[in-house]
């Protein structure tokens, strides 16, 4: 009669195979779980990431509010509604001089259009308003800063 060890039922070889199969299954399961977690994390980030552009209505309202505050002579509120990049590029005194040199900026403004523009290879929305009396356009580009949309550029 053959012994148990000669059949390989309890031998080290059978135990090694059993451990190898267990480790392989565990590795496959761990890899599957890791891929699922990474995939769902990536999808969550994609859906929850901040927008590059505001909606047209939201952007128009932010830009119109900026122009209204400018017309009403609220320099502190106007300045606070701009991004750090705007402040760095313009400077408070330069911006004040620019407004003074272009008094039509203080006219009542009407929304004309919004359009896609490329800034550093990123599609952005530009909002165009027209001065009611002089008919001159002002272009405003918005940027997101501290979870708020602010004026990032003003072009005459």
Quote the tokens at residue 100: 């003074």
Average pLDDT across the chain, whole number: 85
Does the domain made of 56-155 have the CATH classification 3.10.450?
yes
What residue ranges do the domains of the chain occupy? 4-48, 56-155
Would you say residue 141 has pLDDT above 70?
Answer: yes
Instruction: For residue 90, count other CB atoms closer than 10 A to its CB.
Output: 18
| pLDDT tens profile 71-109 | 999 889 999 999 999 999 999 999 999 999 999 999 999
Q: What does the block give as tokens for 123?
A: 């599609």
Contact status, residue 129 vs residue 106, Cβ threshold 8 Å: no
Q: Answer yes or no: is pLDDT of 152 > 90.
A: yes
| pTM given for the model | 0.68
d(CA 48, CA 70): 33
Residues 44 and 36: beta-carbon distance below 8 Å: no
pLDDT of 121-133, one tens digit each? 888 899 999 999 9
Percentages of the chain per state (helix, strand, coil), in multiples of 5: 55, 25, 20
Question: According to the model, what pLDDT value does residue 155 have?
Answer: 95
pLDDT digits (tens, 9 = 90+) for 15-25: 677 767 777 87
């Amino acid at each position: 009669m053959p012994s148990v060890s000669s059949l390989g039922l309890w031998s080290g070889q059978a135990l090694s195979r059993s451990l190898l199969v267990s480790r392989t299954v565990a590795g496959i399961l761990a890899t599957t779980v890791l891929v699922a977690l990474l995939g769902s994390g990536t999808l969550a980030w994609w859906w929850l990431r901040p927008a590059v552009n505001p909606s047209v209505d939201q952007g128009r309202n932010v830009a119109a509010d900026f122009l209204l505050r400018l017309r009403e002579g609220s320099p502190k509120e106007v300045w606070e509604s701009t991004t750090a990049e705007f402040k760095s590029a313009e400077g408070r005194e330069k911006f004040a001089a620019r407004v003074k040199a272009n008094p039509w900026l203080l006219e009542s403004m009407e929304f004309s259009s919004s359009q896609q523009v490329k800034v550093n290879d990123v599609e952005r929305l530009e909002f165009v308003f027209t001065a009611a009396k002089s008919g001159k356009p002002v272009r405003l580009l918005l940027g997101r800063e501290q979870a708020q949309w602010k004026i990032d550029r003003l072009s005459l």
